[in-house]
Structure 1
Amino acid sequence: MVRFKNRYLVLEAIPIDGKNKSKFHMKPQALYSAILEKIELLHGDFGVAAVRNGFLTKYCSEKTQVAYVRARHGPHKLVASAIPLVTKIEGAQVTLKTIYTGGSVMQCNKFLRDYHIKELEKTLPLIKDEDERKKVQESFLCFRQVGEERSNINP
């Protein structure tokens, strides 16, 4: 039996329209479809066929707009090349940014925890209201560990 290696891409969705930032909710199925559409546009049928086996959206956070995407080792390069081209998810204008590529969900969780702490350190000095500070701290630091939840989205 052959072991297939996977790569996990940690993505951040940045809504372009600042007014709709709180209204934008990234759904796993919509992210999956948007990325696959751009892979087809960029790499054609070969790219879709190479990526489709083993490609899924593992996790999407509504609060932090962060998602995990799994792809097999090798075709993950095709996925990574198509991610910057995604400009719309369910009609909302967004910019997708790859912030980390890891070999396991545990490494992605560790990176994301450290990433959130750094972002929190940048944000907290700008906030004057104590209640607002607590809300920001909760939104940054209360993300679920992806390995703990077992809900994989794969159409």
Structure 2
Amino acid sequence: MVRFKNRWLLVELIPVGTQPQSTAAPTHHLEGKHIWAAVRQSVLANFGDVGWGAVGLSLNVKYYSPTTNICIIRVARDHHRIAWGAVTLLSAIEGVRYIPNVVHVSGTIKHAQLAAIAHNREVIARYRALAKTPAAYQDSYETYLEKSTLEIEALQD
């Protein structure tokens, strides 16, 4: 029996120039299918049909959070650098400019989940710092962290 080996990319999509920094989380109508389509276009534009043929079957956006703008992308291990390069070369998704930041690359979904949960906590801490709220303050971000942690932990390979 042969096992398919994957790489998991944890990507933060930082919006560019859409609004000044505020205490509210950015709201965009971006979904996993939009990210997948943008990565597909980037692979085709930068690596051609051969690049898309290498990563096309295994490329999958497993998770996207519109609150913290992070996503988890699965791709085959042998060609993960093509997908990584395509993500890095992205400039816009659905007409909105983004700066993609690959935060973590892992070989297992478990490590990608742990990195995503830790990164979510960092982003929420940044939002709280911008709002100048104390760390013990009970706000809507606390329920978001609990909900997102459960969603991320529920991901299956």
| 1:134 and 2:133 are equivalent in the alignment | no
1:52-97 CA distance string (max 9 Å, x none): 1211111111211111110000111100011121111111111111
Count of residues in correspondence between the two structures: 150
> What's the counterpart of residue 7 of structure 1?
7
In structure 1, list runs of 5 or more residues that go unmatched. none
> What's the counterpart of residue 27 of structure 1?
31
User: TM-score, structure 2 length as denominator?
Assistant: 0.81
| 1:108 and 2:112 are equivalent in the alignment | yes
Name the % identity: 21
Contact 1:59/1:146 (<8 A) preserved: yes
Distance 1:100 1:75 in 2: 16
> What's the counterpart of residue 16 of structure 1?
16
| Residue type of the alignment partner of 2:78 | G
What value does the CA root-mean-square deviation take over the aligned residues? 2.5
Distance 2:127 2:95 in 1: 29
Contact 2:62/2:155 (<8 A) preserved: no
> What's the counterpart of residue 146 of structure 1?
152
Q: Structure 1 residues 32, 100: CA separation in 2 closer, same or farther (over 3 Å shift)?
A: same
Q: Structure 1 residues 122, 61: CA separation in 2 closer, same or farther (over 3 Å shift)?
A: closer
| 1:124 and 2:128 are equivalent in the alignment | yes
Secondary structure of the structure 1 residue equivalent to 2:13: strand
The structural deviation recorded for 1:121 is 4.2
> What's the counterpart of residue 54 of structure 1?
58
User: TM-score, structure 1 length as denominator?
Assistant: 0.82
Contact 2:68/2:123 (<8 A) preserved: no
Contact 1:117/1:141 (<8 A) preserved: no
